[in-house]
Chains A and B, each alone.
Chain A
Amino acid sequence: MELKKQHFLKSIENSKGIILSLCRVYFPDSEDQKDAFQDVILQLWKSFDSFRGDSELNTWVYTISIRTILNKIRKLKKSVSHDRLDGNLAVAIPLTDDNKELLNIIIQQLNEDDKALVVLFLEGYRNKEIAEILEITPTNVSTRLNRIKSQLKLKYNQTSDAVRRS
């Protein structure tokens, strides 16, 4: 096997979980997930030469993966009806803790740009880093995150009230 391929496989070995998670967050259908996974791997491979280790490997993987997935969704939106992409298909999140339902709701209800924002926030990136990955301004990141947090609070309170009443 070529040295470059070996190096690539070794580099992304521990990042497959990130790629697969992102594919599952954005695509409810397993065939679409596989498709997206292949696209992301190809893009990572194509841009592997440009990765010089200036940024952390995971940051590079997140950057390429999110950009590839968002581009794929934009292309799909041109050819597929909008309903299919934003429909309420259940995202199978194999979690066992109490936050499973909430994470599920968030992932289903956010638009594709906000999903990326929330995922990067949950990953622990700071606003400046998120801004660089998503190619937006840190102010924009902060504003959008605050809006999402307020929405989340509201939704959670409504859900809690409904549970208490039943």
Chain B
Amino acid sequence: MQLEDLKNSWHQYKFLNSINRCSSSEILAIIEGEVDKTDLRVKRFVGNLVMVLAIIMICQGG
């Protein structure tokens, strides 16, 4: 038995897994979830930045 002999098994295994693949809408949900998270992070960062700037201005008497 050689490792080469298992090549067909691997391709068969891959083929069977490709039949049970998930839909494009599921993939879209995964990547859109990440886009939303990034948006949220940016919004939080901007919000915090505005807050810090406001505090600095107040402390300086502006």
Contacts and interface: CB of A to CB of B under 8 A. Distances in A.
- Among B2, B6, B20, the one with the most A-chain Cβ atoms within 10 Å of its Cβ is B6
- Among A9, A21, A119, the one with the most B-chain Cβ atoms within 10 Å of its Cβ is A21
Given A17-B21, A121-B3, A122-B3, A95 B27 contact: no
Contacts of A51: none
B30 A38 contact: yes
Interface residues on A, range: 35 or more
A106 B7 CA distance: 13
B30 A41 contact: yes
Instruction: Give the secondary structure class of A's interface.
Output: helix
A14 B15 CA distance: 10
Contact of B24 (A13, A46, A106, A153): A13
B8 A99 contact: yes
Contacts of A89: none
A99 B3 contact: no
Interface of B: 1-3, 5-22, 24, 27-28, 30-32, 34
13 contacts: A1-B28, A9-B24, A9-B28, A21-B14, A37-B22, A41-B27, A41-B31, A99-B5, A102-B1, A102-B9, A118-B3, A122-B6, A156-B1
Given A103-B6, A145-B3, 9 more contacts: A16-B18, A42-B31, A45-B34, A99-B6, A102-B9, A122-B9, A149-B2, A149-B3, A152-B2
Interface of A: 1, 5, 8-9, 12-14, 16-18, 20-21, 24, 37-38, 41-42, 45-46, 93-97, 99-100, 102-103, 106, 118-119, 121-124, 145, 148-149, 152-153, 156
